[in-house]
Structure 1
Amino acid sequence: EEERRVRANAREYNEKFQYASNCIKTSKYNIVTFLPVNLFEQFQEVANTYFLFLLILQLIPQISSLSWFTTIVPLVLVLTITAVKDATDDYFRHKSDNQVNNRQSQVLIGGVLRQEQWMNVRVGDIIKLENNQFVAADLLLLSSSEPHGLCYIETAELDGETNMKVRQAIPVTAELGDTSQLALFDGEVICEPPNNKLDKFGGTLYWKENKYPLSNQNMLLRGCVLRNTEWCFGLVIFAGGLGQQMLLCCTEGKERQPLMPSHSTGPDTKLMQNSGRTKFKRTSIDRLMNTLVLWIFGFLVCMGVILAIGNAIWEHEVGVFFQIYLPWDKGVHSAFFSGFLSFWSYIIILNTVVPISLYVSVEVIRLGHSYFINWDKKMYCAKRRTPAEARTTTLNEELGQVEYIFSDKTGTLTQNIMVFSKCSVNGHSYGDVQDILGHKAELGERPEPVDFSFNPLADPRFQFWDSSLLEAVKLGDLHVHEFFRLLSLCHTVMSEEKSEGELLYKAQSPDEGALVTAARNFGFVFRSRTPKTITVHELGQAITYQLLAILDFNNIRKRMSVIVRSPEGKIRLYCKGADTILLERLHPVNQDLTSITTDHLNEYAGEGLRTLVLAYKDLEESYYKDWSERLHRAGSAPEAREDHLAQLYDEVEHDMMMLGATAIEDKLQQGVPETIAILTLANIKIWVLTGDKQETAVNIGYSCKMLTDDMTEVFVVTGHTVLEVREELRKAREKMMDASRSVCNGFSYQEKLSSKLTSVLEAIAGEYALVINGHSLAHALEADMEVEFLETACACKAVICCRVTPLQKAQVVELVKK
């Protein structure tokens, strides 16, 4: 499929493309396929195949030395126990599939909303969703109960993030609010084929001889939940489950590729596209047992060969004289052939050498383990009343063989509750706790927080300890005003007013929520937004800014900008983003201010705070007009839309003026240092992969006891070129080796070092840690250097990769797995 064409309310038209249905199937078997497929899987076990082979031998009368049922009884018993366990697992999968497939959805058919099961929803249908409902398929948002076609979704099932995201219908369909209008909607969408990119979508809507560009902002993906939105309508673009292809879910133990041919597009929704190809999973104990059984079988064959040779020699030398008393069996006409037959007889007699009961014992132990996990009181979360749950009985022993743990920082090590802690404005740092005389307070002293009672719209939960910042606001310091104006305008937060003056902010990220709340308390209150305006109460006065453009944040840009027109008609760009990105985009005139702010940034990061830099730029009317036209053209370009937009964003975000920096605190979760200490004792190596600044990550590393002062050395790799990175990694390895040589009593390191990585690890004496930056990591992950990076990193007790993109996180995990 090169492109997808979907016409609204036209099932017949869409059916000719044979798009996948919305039925999902994660089960492996049905009544017909259970026996053959399960037996095929079970005979992947070497022991089962071996006993089947024995059974066949015992059915041949010339060599059968035991009756056949001595083998068939234990074999059938083993196969039955495993089959019952697999059938039970699959029964629960069927149950969960049915539960999902039979969920109800309101589908617009013939101008009337009808209740349909999810599995009967088709591509091109228009469906109605209500608050707190799961999205049934990947939909193009057409209209909603909120003004301007906005709706809020939670994407926890897709990306693990529990904060709200905003999606918006394109203005032309946002007006189609009732079923009679939607029944007449016959727009056609031409878009990209199914893919697994959760944050990208490109397509065009053709309707009434006009075309409208579509992006990810207009899409609701299967697996999301509709929140804080009474209702919305969407057009099904990708359906959820399967055409005639089987999809197997990857949460279970032994999974394998589908055995049925794929005639259709398979699982099309982005959720299903991200389920990954499912593999037949074997644990290391399974692999070890198979290897042991092969060795034991080899030993058995050797015994059989020795005894068969002995038999042939005896028959040739001695047995030939006893033909009258001990005649050869029918068909045996030589001593050699007699030896050959006795080889198979010995294989049957000595078959108990191969332990079939071992497999049964391991299966029973695994089953017992899974119950122990479910019953474990120490793994019970009293707060949520949730016990641990072993979802598969085949992989539990792998938990005891974990060597590496890869962890994100935000929300995993930390609470993901952001608090505005400090800031730097025009070279002045604010946020240190002040005593009554205005000096920096000593540790342990905590005077009264700043009094925000002058501001009726302030958030009572917000606390700040440095009153000099509020004084600067009240005295009319222009830089401080501009600083908070930026925070109140440059964001994607939505505001809800429960009652007069009682504001509730819905932020896509907790950082944004913390910054907008800070601006609110200091007198710059973000009140409301529409797609084209933002209203802010600046020190009590309501001002509405015209919102000309939002330049979105993403993991590559690492910054976000808005372009607004003030009531006076001035056009200004406000930008906030990571220091590494923003500092190189400032106007040269900012040099002195930049160096002071950089010192403040390093100081904040050293305290483990998350930092952002803020800047602005005034735009000429004529330049903006030209840029805006080019932006519109790029937005409706059929190809390379993302690249064109990125170039235009890049062009306008240059020569900006520095405003200052913010520092946000994200506290560690309870019990993190203790957990890491226990994992370290278990000899598990911990790698933290974070997008945060290096100093912030290192500080968190120390505070959660991942890095300690007792460590021999913490290596920091910050090289900008391939050669620099290679040199830094080489020096780190040499230092570790030198220390090891002195401990290894004169053994040369080379003698210890084989081609395997484990030898490097064994040879390292002392505890080391490695900290590496995103740009250095990009070089370290290149094919010719990845082995050097891996050797150095794996010899360290702890590794911190900072300022890394999600793609780099995946590459690091993949590299260590390899």
Structure 2
Amino acid sequence: MNVRVGDIIKLENNHFVAADILLLSSSEPYGLCYIETAELDGETNLKVRQALTVTSDLGADVAKLADFNGEVICEPPNNKLDKFTGTLYWRDNKYPLDNEKMLLRGCVLRNTDWCFGMVIFAGLQTKLMQNCGRTKFKRTSIDKLMNTLVLWIFGFLVCMGVILAIGNTIWEQKVGRTFSVYLLWDEPIRNNNVVFSGFLTFWSYIIILNTMVPISLYVSVEVIRLGHSYFINWDRKMYYIQKDTPAEARTTTLNEELGQVEFIFSDKTGTLTQNIMVFNKCSINGKSYGDVYDEFGHKRTDCVDFSFNPLSDRKFKFHDSSLVEAIKMEEPSVQEFFRLLSLCHTVMPEEKNEGDLVYQAQSPDEGALVTAARNFGFVFRSRTPETVTLYEMGIAVNYQLLAILDFNNVRKRMSVIVRNPAGHIKLYCKGADTIIFDRLDPHSQQAFAGEGLRTLALAYKDLDENVLEEWMKRLLNASTVIENREEGLADLYEEIETGLMLLGATAVEDKLQEGVPETIACLTLANIKIWVLTGDKLETAMNIGYSCNMLRDDMNEVFIISGHSVSEPELEQVLLETACLCKTVICCRVTPMQKAQVVELVKTNKMAVTLAIGDGANDVSMIKTAHIGVGISGQEGMQAVLASDYSFAQFRYLQRLLLVHGRWSYFRMCNFLFYFFYKNFAFTLVHFWFGFFCGFSAQTVYDQWFITLFNIVYTSLPVLAMGLFDQDVNEANSHRYPSLYRPGQLNLLFNKRQFFLCTLQGMGTSFLLFFIPYGAFCLVVRDDGSHISDQQAFAVIISTSLVIVVSVQIGLDTYYWTAVNHVFVWGSLAVYFAILFAMHSDGLFSILPSHFPFIGTARNCLTQKSVWLVIMLTTVACVMPGLAVRFLKTDLYPTLTDKWALCQEAVRLGWVVFRRTSPLLSPYGSCSDETRL
């Protein structure tokens, strides 16, 4: 569909919206339409959009729509999917436009026969396309280390080239002239310019030794990371069957970082709790309702009978019948309380069957409060842009809706201004108690929060007609400006929301998710610090802390602060130092931006990996700020999931993600890197040693085909198998002993020291690979008296020794053998010998004699007993030093991982293990005194 800005287009049911359009009219009453925004935010529940009343009257009249000459002035194109600021000028009037009147590109029209809209943004200017720009790329510490090491290796390569070039210059100067009779020099060298010979040699050796620079490393790393991501996606133990939600790795670049997390920043509502709100208690005019225990301490088990209300929700439960009695007795404060709950919200009702009301709420809190009002006789039935209809104790009452003062995370409150049938104007407000002044009975409020209930204070205010009329004029002006509209509206809201009369408070229960206390306890044993960042009040956050076992009465190191403290720049360092000394940190009353500030503070000042986990749009900022962002697909939409790196449905799965998948990914990646660098050095540096015996002539040791196939065919699959499937400790022990997670936090398994050790091992292996065969065969003859030490035979011996050595080494480095490992390791050896004999066969020589001229070399060489003895000697000499060091280290200075890995193997094999009583701890020392199967 080719559309331009200003076009008026028609959309039909189930059609995609092709541009960002202003809704003008629809087939539904009052200009309503329903859209699905799954392509934008991942949410599959339908959302409601409503046209302006003045444009909804246009209906489907094509003539009127064609004559529409309104002018829209709006904000420039941006990527904010939930905000739009604009003004419609039409018929000498101006009308404010917001996101509720927009249909964005990517939405699908549902349950609406047709609608008409005017194109505001098209093409690349639409919000969908604006969100397709660059996103911040997160890099792991191993990525940064690899880049540094590659630069070091390149510098080492240059040094090797310089050494060999100098050697060539000296050799040509002192010895090379002797061979000039049959080794003709080039013209520049013939003129005694041996320096030029060294210059050419330098670049020749740079080409020969370039295999030391691991070009294929990054490809292999990405393949391994992709495999680890699939393991997370396929993990049925992280699959939430109730919502058919599997775990999802939304990135492939951070898997090993999951094994190094030190700080977890967690939201509370919907992350630690279920975010399924239940109206539990309330306080009206100083009296508390909803106590489970009566005045004599007896538990109330009978639920309130709501049969008097035919529109009640049968799923709703309440345990205090005195509140129903107060309603029936028409107590004014109680009626006003529930009237406020049924009016002050943005819920949309849907009546599927006669009397079967379904509420579509933007948040679970709103849904719970409106449902409570419904059951107590104040039923919200319908709304239009100008009216709200309630059924108050069965009587229909229409309220004129004059203004809605929207909720946001900064205001932390919402208000509506309505005119009742008697003509009285009232402002109803609900919000955080700290925002609506602390006028609630302190004992009542304290008791609610102490039980972990989410509390909201309710207030109202009578408004004068003249005052409201003047305020509404200023509201219209503020709502139609383009720049600084939000600030202007906030000032006006603040002005009228003063002098409120406190009406009461609500308490909504939000229970913990299954397994949260156990997960937090396990992660704490893994030396992971968990900080809870919540918008709830102090008492509620503390109670949840006790429920999660983050707080205990015997703890002395607890740090609890409010959002105001986070906003003080001069206190940042003091806050950070104090918080890091404490076992538990809880930040309450924090805004989304303050959550991100806390994460950024730790991320910037601590050399530690941070993880943020949340479920709502207010957690997106901290999820994007942290090294790793985890989204929980809960009740508050999919914004957190879409912004995250990993997602699942329950907080308890975080334990498995970190202690199993994260730890394995880090362990596998580190072992892979150690072995990868080792084999590359062992393979490449043989050329360096050979240079001293070939006049530094840049002659290669190996056959050209072996050089090409070594990293691609002979050694690529075994190292990938190790990187994908290896595990030192199984998943059961990873959960049982969380302290095994510690090496990743300390970055012990692969660092610059480990790289230096694998470099030394590779250099030592290359030295032995060259000098043992050279020393063995330099003066040796065959059984028939012919010479054995020709260059091609020498190359076959060294290449065969190399392939066997690296295969044995990866076998020793692999902790956990699978069928894939066996096939890849032994299969690569078999492929090597098959290719070796094929290249030196009569058949290939007859087909391509110029490419495979060394017919029979492999057969003649490898049929000699002395050759195999040398290969065996070389293999043992290369492998034994590393094996001896590993054995001594494991026996004398075992790590915790070594101990439990050996215990695990002992249990598997049914060994009996006794604890050693000498000062030198055995690697089995952490097992029980005797283990037998």
Normalization by structure 2: what TM-score? 0.60
Q: Deviations over 1:446-489 (max 9, x none)?
A: 51111112222221111101122222222332211211111122
C-alpha distance in structure 2 between counterparts of 1:168 and 1:803, whole Å: 24
Superposed displacement of residue 573, structure 1 = 1.0
Question: Structure 2 CA distance, aligned partners of 1:735 and 1:280?
Answer: 29
SS of the residue 1:583 aligns to: coil
By how many angstroms is 1:374 displaced?
4.8
**Distance in structure 2 (CA, Å) of the matches to 1:283 and 1:381:** 29
Aligned to 2:583: 768
Residue 8 of structure 2 corresponds to 126
Q: Is the 8 A contact 1:689 1:800 kept in 2?
A: no
When residues 223 and 460 of structure 1 are mapped into structure 2, their CA distance, relative to the original with a 3 A threshold, is same
Alignment match, 2:914: none
Q: 1:529 to 1:335 in 2, by over 3 A?
A: closer
Secondary structure at 1:471's aligned position in 2? helix
Q: Deviations over 1:289-344 (max 9, x none)?
A: 44333323322322222232233234334445665565533321233333222323
The answer to whether the 8 Å contact 1:163/1:508 transfers is: no
Task: Give the partner amino acid of 2:121.
Answer: F
Q: Name the counterpart of 1:532.
A: 386
Q: What does 1:803-818 correspond to in 2, within 5 Å? A: 809=622, 813=626
Which of 474, 478, 484 matches 1:630? Answer: 474
2:95 maps to 1:212: yes
Pick the structure with more helix per residue.
2
Secondary structure at the aligned position of 1:631 is classed as: helix
1:77-106: CA deviations, max 9, x gaps? Answer: xxxxxxxxxxxxxxxxxxxxxxxxxxxxxx
Q: Tell me the alpha carbon deviations over residues 544-568 of structure 1, each in whole angstroms, 9 at most, x when there is no partner.
A: 2222222222222221111122222
1:668 is paired with a residue of what secondary structure?
A: coil
| Paired residues of 1:691 and 1:805 also in contact (CA < 8 A) | no
Distance 2:605 2:564 in 1: 18
Q: Secondary structure at the match of 1:534?
A: strand
Report the equivalent of 1:340.
Answer: 199
- C-alpha contact (below 8 Å) 1:578/1:612 kept by paired residues: yes
Contact 1:381–1:387 (CA<8 Å) still a contact in 2? yes
Q: Which amino acid in the other structure matches residue 173 of structure 1?
A: T
The alpha carbon displacement at 1:138 in A equals 1.6
CA distance in 1 between partners of 2:305 and 2:429 (Å): 29
CA distance in 2, matches of 1:799, 1:707: 20
Give, in whole Å, the separation in 2 of the partners of 1:289 and 1:800.
28
Over residues 87-138 of structure 1, what are the superposed CA-to-partner deviations in whole Å (9 max), with x where a residue is unaligned? xxxxxxxxxxxxxxxxxxxxxxxxxxxxx5xxx3443343344455553332
Contact residue 420 and residue 664 of structure 1 kept, 8 A: yes
Which consecutive unaligned segments of at least 5 residues does structure 2 have? Answer: 630-643, 645-933
Q: Which shifted more, 679-688 or 623-632?
A: 679-688
Q: Following the alignment from structure 2 to structure 1, what is the Cα–Cα distance between the partners of residues 272 and 579?
A: 30
8 Å contact kept, 2:613–2:623: no
Tell me the alpha carbon deviations over residues 117-167 of structure 1, each in whole angstroms, 9 at most, x when there is no partner. xxx344334334445555333221111222211234454554566665432
Code of the aligned partner of 2:402: L
What's the secondary structure of 1:451's corresponding residue? coil
Q: 1:643–1:343: structure 2 CA closer, same or farther, 3 Å change rule?
A: closer
Report if aligned partners of 2:16, 2:107 keep a CA contact under 8 Å in 1. Answer: yes
Residue 328 of structure 1: aligned partner? 185
Q: 1:195 to 1:538 in 2, by over 3 A?
A: same
Letter in 2 for 1:136: A
Residues 747-776 of structure 1: per-residue CA shift (max 9 Å, x gap): xxxxxxxxxxxxxxxxxxxx6222234579
1:711-738 deviation line (CA, Å, top 9, x unaligned): 652212248578988569637736966x
Q: CA deviation at 1:431?
A: 1.3
Match of residue 545 from structure 1: 399
The correspondence for 2:163, drawn from 279, 284, 306, is 306
- Aligned residue in 1 for 2:503: 659
Return the offset for 1:283.
5.5
Return 504-513 or 722-731, whichever deviates more. 722-731
Superposed, 1:272-311 pairs within 5 Å as 272-278=129-135, 284-311=141-168
Q: Residue type matched to 1:772 in 2?
A: C
Partner of 1:193: 76
Cross-structure match for 2:809: none
- What TM-score results when the alignment is normalised by the length of structure 1? 0.67
Instruction: Give 1:168 deviation, angstroms.
Output: 1.6
Which 10-residue stretch deviates more, 538-547 or 794-803?
794-803
Q: Which residue of 2 is the match for residue 51 of structure 1?
A: none
Q: Partner amino acid for 1:432? A: D
Mapping for residues 795-810 of structure 1, pairs under 5 Å: 809=622
1:692 is matched with: 536
Hey, what does 1:490 align to over in structure 2? 344
- The answer to whether the aligner puts 1:174 opposite 2:66 as a matched pair is no
Using the TM superposition, give the Cα deviation of residue 355 of structure 1 relative to its aligned residue in structure 2, in angstroms: 4.1
CA offsets, 1:387-429, max 9 Å, x none?
Answer: 5566666665555455555444333333332111111111112
Q: Residue in 2 aligned with 1:607?
A: 451
AA partner of residue 623 (structure 1): V
Q: What's the counterpart of residue 22 of structure 2? A: 140
Larger radius of gyration: 2
| CA RMSD, Structure 1 to Structure 2 (Å) | 4.0
Structure 1 partner of 2:85: 202
Q: What per-residue deviation string (whole Å, max 9, x for no partner) do you get for residues 361-400 of structure 1?
A: 4354345445544543334454455655666666655554
SS at match of 2:584: strand
**Counterpart in 1 of 2:424?**
570
Are the structure 2 counterparts of residues 423 and 151 from structure 1 closer, same or farther at C-alpha, using a change threshold of 3 Å?
same
Contact between 1:144 and 1:233, CA under 8 Å: does it hold in 2?
A: yes
Q: Given that residues 263 and 611 in structure 2 are in contact (C-alpha distance below 8 angstroms), is that contact kept between their aligned partners in structure 1? A: no
Instruction: Give the length in aligned residue pairs.
Output: 627
Please report how far the alpha carbon of residue 522 of structure 1 lies from its aligned counterpart in structure 2 after TM superposition: 1.3
Of Structure 1 and Structure 2, the greater strand share is in: 1
CA distance in 1, matches of 2:627, 2:224: 31
Q: Whole-Å Cα distance in 2 between the matches of residues 801 and 697 of structure 1?
A: 15
1:668-712 Cα distance to aligned partner (Å, 9 max, x none): 333444444555455555444433223323333443455566765
2:296 matches 1:439: yes
SS at match of 1:331: helix
The share of aligned pairs that are identical, in percent, is 67
Corresponding residue number in structure 1 for 2:494? 650
Spell out, residue by residue over 1:525-576, the C-alpha distance to the aligned partner (whole angstroms, 9 max, x if none): 2222222222222223332222222222222222111112222222111111
**Unpaired segments ≥5 residues, structure 1:** 1-115, 242-266, 585-593, 738-766
Q: 1:448 aligns with which of 296, 302, 313?
A: 302
Distance 1:360 1:714 in 2: 46
Deviates more, 1:652-661 or 1:808-817: 808-817
CA distance 1:727–1:651, change in 2 (3 Å): closer
Cα distance change, pair 170–519 in 1 and its aligned pair in 2 (3 A): same
The answer to whether the 8 A contact 1:150-1:169 is kept is: yes
Tell me the residue number matched to 1:715.
559
Asked if the contact 1:223–1:271 (Cα under 8 Å) also holds between the matched residues in 2, the reply is yes
Structure 2 equivalent of residue 422 of structure 1: 281
Residue 872 of structure 2 aligns with which residue?
Answer: none
Q: 1:581 aligns with which of 413, 435, 460?
A: 435
AA partner of residue 120 (structure 2) = I
Higher relative contact order, chain-length normalized (CA < 8 Å, sep 6+): 2
| Aligned residue number for residue 119 of structure 2 | 236
Q: Per the alignment, in what secondary structure is the counterpart of residue 579 of structure 1?
A: coil
1:559 aligns with 2:413: yes
Equivalent residue, structure 1, for 2:356: 502
Q: Residue 456 and residue 721 in structure 1: after superposition, are their counterparts in 2 closer, same or farther (change >3 A)?
A: closer
1:479 is aligned, of 308, 319, 333, to: 333
* Cα distance in 1, alignment partners of residues 145 and 602 from structure 2: 30
